[in-house]
Chain A
Amino acid sequence: ILNVEQSPQSLHVQEGDSTNFTCSFPSSNFYALHWYRWETAKSPEALFVMTLNGDEKKKGRISATLNTKEGYSYLYIKGSQPEDSATYLCALHTGTASKLTFGTGTRLQVTL
């Protein structure tokens, strides 16, 4: 079983703060890296699918970078808002039948 790790496990920031979290994975197994946002009582929602080393993707105030050689990806949130409160999951795709191996997630709470 592949080891996909996320840190920190949880994070508590105030509205307006910028924050970032990490996903690390075995670089030898890399095919793609997925990021999802999972809000309470909703279904996980895809944020990004990243495939190229050095790739950077952006969606509003959220962006992500990828380093496939050293096996990590960062997710950044600029100017956090309460609606950003969610668990952020990364998942490694190794190219085998669209299977994903998920990390345990970073739980973000943004307060006023």
Chain B
Amino acid sequence: DVKVTQSSRYLVKRTGEKVFLECVQDMDHENMFWYRQDPGLGLRLIYFSYDVKMKEKGDIPEGYSVSREKKERFSLILESASTNQTSMYLCASGPPGNQPQHFGDGTRLSIL
């Protein structure tokens, strides 16, 4: 079975902190994605990566950056956390083409 592991289920940080969310997948997938889930808004794509060291902006990249130094790991970085970044963050991976994505369990991040 594909396993997508997110480093934390719950995280509490303070405004202005630099926050790292880590995601690791074990199926050698080329594509990796970061989403956030907010009530009434559905899953929104923040960034995605289709190869090591490659990244593309999603629909809501502002305030975030990403890093993909190794194929299995995709990190989401909140450069200076703000309260409006309090959300559920989901990582996903998938092969190229028209295949389903595989999701992690999510990180519920609170910025105080």
Residues of chain A in range 18-66 having any CB-CB distance to chain B below 8 Å: 31-32, 34, 36, 41-46, 49, 51
Binary per-residue interface labels of chain B (1-19) against chain A in the complex, 1 for a CB within 8 Å, 0 otherwise: 0001000000000000000
Chain A residues bordering chain B, tally (CB within 8 A): 26
**Does B101 reach chain A (CB closer than 8 Å)?**
yes
Q: Contacts A102-B42, A104-B40 given; indicate if A97 touches B101 (C-beta within 8 A).
A: no
Residues of A within 8 A of B33 (CB): 100
Residues of B within 8 A of A100 (CB): 33, 45, 101
- Alpha-carbon separation in the docked complex, A36 to B102 (Å): 10
Residues of B within 8 A of A108 (CB): none
Given contacts A41-B105, A42-B105, A98-B99, 18 further A-B contacts (CB under 8 A): A1-B59, A32-B98, A36-B100, A43-B4, A43-B103, A43-B105, A44-B43, A44-B103, A46-B101, A46-B102, A49-B98, A51-B98, A91-B43, A97-B48, A97-B56, A101-B45, A102-B42, A104-B40
**What are 13 residue pairs bridging A and B, where the CB atoms are less than 8 Å apart in the complex?**
A1-B59, A36-B100, A41-B105, A43-B4, A44-B103, A97-B31, A98-B96, A98-B97, A98-B101, A100-B33, A100-B101, A102-B35, A102-B43
